[in-house]
Structure formats: C-alpha cells, structure tokens
C-alpha cells in the first residue's frame, strides 16, 4: 500500500487496502495503515474518506481532532475547476475560459486579440482586400481561437494543481506532525 502511494498511484493503494483490510486492521500496524490510507484519500481528493481515515489514525486530544475536522469544512476545501467547463466557456466567448480558470488578465488579453483580428478582417473586407483579410484576419483568428480553447483548459489544470498543493501541504504536515 505504501509503495503504491509513493509511486504516485493512490487509487491502487486504496484498492490494495480494501483487498487486505481485515488482516491489516487486526495487525499492530493499524495507525500506520490508516495514515497511508489517509494520504491516498487526500491525493484522490476523496475528502470524506480522508477525514474519517485521518480521525482513525489520530489518537490525540479533542482539540487536535477538531483542528483536523476544520480542514474539511466546505469553505476550507480547495475550489477545483472543471477543465472541460473552461474549454466550453472559451469556445462560446473567447477569453471567458481563462477568466473561469482564474486568470482574468489572460482572458481579457485573449478577448482583445480576438476582437482585433475580427475588426482587422472586417476592415480588410470593407476595403476590398478579400484575400488578405481572409488569410491574415480569419486565418489568424482560427489559430488564436483554437489555441485559446486549449490554453483555457491547460490554465484550469495549472490552477487546480496550485490549489491542491496549497491545500494539501498543510493538511499532510498536520497529519504527520500528530503521529
């Protein structure tokens, strides 16, 4: 179980625990097993099971248990954004996916680039430069559009990773310090 966690496969660690939990719980390693199980649940973002498992491995005064439960209040949990939602928002209105992902400046820049390209293409068509307007304006618009969609999705993943790291580090440090 520990090997799976250390290998970055917390789901396999939980699966291994479920396969052998009766033998592990009856052994003298109950607290150590619960600690690793809690770490696996934290990495899987299974907050409810992490809270329960963490409480089982903490044999501490009630104020430590209260502090542990404080990590799992709804307002304390990290805000995880859906990358698909960011992609869809960016497909509907360019730049809104980046804003949803938590990067408003990049979203506004993306929107400004799109509006500039649309304006440049419209001006080119108006002036009679059809080929140039098509190639420069709409060709670049297409590249920036699809690039913006992919960028919104990637920014969402980056922001989620940052949110999780910021949340998980103090939780894990607290858990390990109380053992």
- Give me the residue spans of the domains in the chain: 2-74, 83-161
Query: Which of 34, 33, 29, 36 is CA-nearest to residue 10?
Result: 36
Residue 24 banded pLDDT, cuts 50, 70, 90: low
Structure tokens at 42: 């934290």
Question: What average pLDDT score do residues 51-55 get?
Answer: 90
Query: Which of the residue ranges 9-23, 125-139, 156-170 has the most confident prediction, judged by mean pLDDT?
Result: 156-170
Instruction: Name the pTM for this structure.
Output: 0.79
Count Cα neighbours of 162 within 13 Å in the Cβ-side half-sphere: 10
pLDDT by residue (tens digit) across 133-168?
A: 888 777 888 888 899 999 999 999 999 999 999 999
8 A C-beta contact, residue 36 and residue 5: yes
């Amino acid at each position: 179980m520990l090997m799976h966690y250390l290998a970055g496969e917390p789901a396999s660690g939980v699966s291994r625990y479920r396969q052998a939990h009766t033998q592990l719980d009856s052994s003298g390693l109950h607290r150590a097993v619960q600690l690793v199980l809690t770490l696996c649940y934290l990495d899987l973002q299974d907050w409810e099971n992490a809270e329960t498992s963490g409480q089982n491995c903490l044999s501490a005064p009630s104020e430590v248990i209260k502090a542990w439960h404080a990590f799992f209040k709804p307002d304390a949990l990290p805000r995880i954004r859906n990358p698909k939602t960011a992609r869809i928002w960016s497909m509907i209105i360019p730049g809104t996916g980046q804003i949803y992902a938590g990067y408003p400046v990049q979203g506004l820049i993306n929107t400004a680039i799109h509006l500039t390209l649309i304006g440049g293409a419209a001006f080119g068509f108006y002036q009679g430069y059809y080929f140039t307007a098509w190639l420069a304006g709409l060709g670049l618009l297409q590249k920036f559009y699809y690039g913006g969609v992919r960028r919104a999705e990637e920014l969402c993943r980056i922001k989620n990773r940052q949110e999780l790291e910021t949340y998980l580090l103090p939780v894990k440090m607290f858990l390990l310090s109380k053992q």
